[in-house]
Structure 1
Amino acid sequence: MSPESLIAIITALIALAAYVTSSISAARARVKTIEDAYVARYWQILDRFPSEALVAEQGRSLDSEDERVVRLYLRLCEDELELRQLGWVSGQTWEQWRSGITAALEQWPVVQEWEPIKEGRRAPNQFELLRKLSTGVQQDPFQPTGLAHITRRWRQL
């Protein structure tokens, strides 16, 4: 093998390694960008919660604006579950979100809106993923499916 061929092979391997590394970094950056956008959305909604909810106190009955804010929160949670299934939420972030969502579903004011939805008396064709989460399944039923193993690894799913 000539020195030029060896240099060409080494150059090609270095280029391939650089491409793989940049692809992994780009995939992780996309996941992080999506997660950050949903965290920002979470704080925007939480800022509109009744003040009693911010210190985990049982509050008054909800007015229509409070109900709207809680429903926006529930929609956010459903969207987060869908993102997890689609492979756009990392495993580490999902563990934090899952524990926060399950805790919120049991606290005022969320529980007040969630109970009729959970029981199917309100919005029976919506919030299917949230209902699934509330069944208390310990494993991750929202683990992304349909993605190649390497894609899941790259995105840290």
Structure 2
Amino acid sequence: MEVFSVVVQALTALAIVFAAWQLLFHSRQMHRDFELIYVQRYWELMDRRSPGFVTEGRGRRTDRPLITAYLQLCEDEIDLRRLGRVTDNTWGFWARSIVDQASTSPYASELGRVRPELYPLLRRLIESDAGFDPLDRSRLWRKLHGL
């Protein structure tokens, strides 16, 4: 009877570990699905740029709403990271990409043209050269939340 009890306890412990692992995997997959929405938004904006903007980096007046939309997308992505919705791996890539693109003209020109209180997270990320991580949580917390 004692052996049976030990076997049942071991199987229960194994089931709990497996369930926890499944929850972490599911959480990570939900983050990835959510991140994909923002990647799709990014490419929708990039695909709407004028040919001169794409080839020469010079935006036309018609590109200005796209530039503004991109800056807002960046601010949203940084805010999502602050809220714990963007994984560590994705954030490493996004942070560097955001700084690289937003620092180029005409994005930097538009950022300089708007009120300083707009896009505070984006400005901080650019100033830190992608060293700013708005998610102020421990490594353990991030791992437990699938980040």
**TM-score, length of structure 1 as denominator length:** 0.81
Give secondary structure in 1 for the equivalent of 2:36: helix
Question: In the aligned structure 2, how far is the partner of 1:7 from the partner of 1:106?
Answer: 61
Question: Are residues 1:77 and 2:77 paired?
Answer: no
- 2:102 pairs, out of 76, 95, 105, with 105
1:131 aligned to 2:123?
Answer: yes
Q: Which residue among 100, 123, 141 is the counterpart of 1:151? A: 141
Q: Matched residue of 1:89: which SS?
A: coil
Q: Is the 8 A contact 1:53 1:108 kept in 2?
A: no
**Could you tell me which residue of structure 2 aligns to residue 30 of structure 1?**
30
The structural deviation recorded for 1:30 is 1.4
- Alignment RMSD: 2.1
Q: What is the letter of the counterpart of residue 72 of structure 2?
A: R
Name segments (4+ residues, structure 1) moved above 6 Å: none
**Which of 83, 89, 94 in structure 2 is aligned with 1:92?**
89
Give 5+ residue unaligned stretches, structure 2. Answer: none
Which residue identity is paired with 1:11? L
**Secondary structure of 1:36's match?**
helix
Q: Which amino acid aligns with 1:91?
A: D
How far apart, CA to CA, are the structure 2 residues paired with 1:51 and 1:58? Answer: 9
Secondary structure of the 1:125 match is: coil
Higher helix share: 2
Matching residue of 2:4: 4
Which AA in structure 1 matches 2:107? V
Alpha-carbon separation, structure 2, partners of 1:89 and 1:138: 15
Shift in Å at residue 154 of structure 1?
3.6
Do the aligned residues in 2 keep the contact of 1:91 with 1:156 (CA within 8 Å)?
A: no
How far apart, in 2, do the equivalents of 1:103 and 1:137 lie? 9
> Any conservation in 1 of the 2:75–2:122 contact (CA below 8 Å)?
yes
- Which amino acid is 1:59 matched to? R
Deviation track 1:36-71 (CA, whole Å, cap 9, x = no partner) reads 11101110111112222323x2425x32x4211111
User: Where does the alignment leave 5 or more consecutive residues of structure 1 unmatched?
Assistant: none
Q: Letter of the aligned partner of 2:141 in structure 1?
A: T
SS in 1 for 2:132: coil
Structure 2 Cα separation of the partners of residues 133 and 47 of structure 1: 25
